[in-house]
Amino acid sequence: MRRLVVVPSLVLLLAACAADPQSGARPNTAGAGQDMDSAPQEASLPPPDVTNPARLKGLNARQVTAVLGQPSFTRKDAPAEIWQYRVRSCTLDLFLYEEGTTHRVAHYAVRSPQVISDQACFDEVLATLRGVPTS
């Protein structure tokens, strides 16, 4: 009888030790055979090195926020979300679609009243995020 009490206690103790004390995140204790999303694992990864807007494709919502910060505007039209990053010379629109329990960038578009390249707009969004003045 004593062995039956000790084994579950050890399992609970190990699970408590595996929790991340800084984020308060707990390990996934879902039963075997359940569909487990990779988003919790991706959240612990550093943001990807994104140097051009095409590299945003496939990133999940957390990764986009890590790279670009919070959007200026969001709109939800299931199954999509549209995120806008508005800067002085342009607007970068990201179109995120549901994938499991998260959203991923499927497409981006740059809009501007003047002729501006996608890269120039993206660079301005990044510069604004970092507090670098743009001319």
Residue 46 has pLDDT above 80, yes or no: no
Q: Which amino acid is residue 58, in one-letter code?
A: G
Which has the minimum average pLDDT: 10-14, 47-51, 79-83, 99-103? 10-14
Q: What is the pLDDT of residue 44?
A: 52
Q: What is the pLDDT of residues 74-127, one digit of tens each?
A: 999 989 999 999 999 999 999 999 998 899 999 999 999 999 999 999 999 999
Mean of the per-residue pLDDT values of the chain: 76
How far apart CA 85 and CA 6 sit, in angstroms, is: 54
Q: What is the pLDDT of residue 78?
A: 87
Q: What's this model's pTM, rounded to 2 decimal places?
A: 0.64
- CATH architecture for residues 34-130: 2-Layer Sandwich (3.30)
List the domain boundaries for the chain: 34-130
DSSP helix/strand/coil, 125: helix
What's the per-residue H, E or C state across 51-88? Answer: CCHHHHCCCEHHHHHHHHCCCCEEEEECCEEEEEEECC
Q: What is the pLDDT of residue 22?
A: 40
Give me the percent of the chain exceeding a pLDDT of 70.
Answer: 63
Q: What is the pLDDT of residue 135?
A: 56
Neighbours of 113 (CB within 10 A): 8
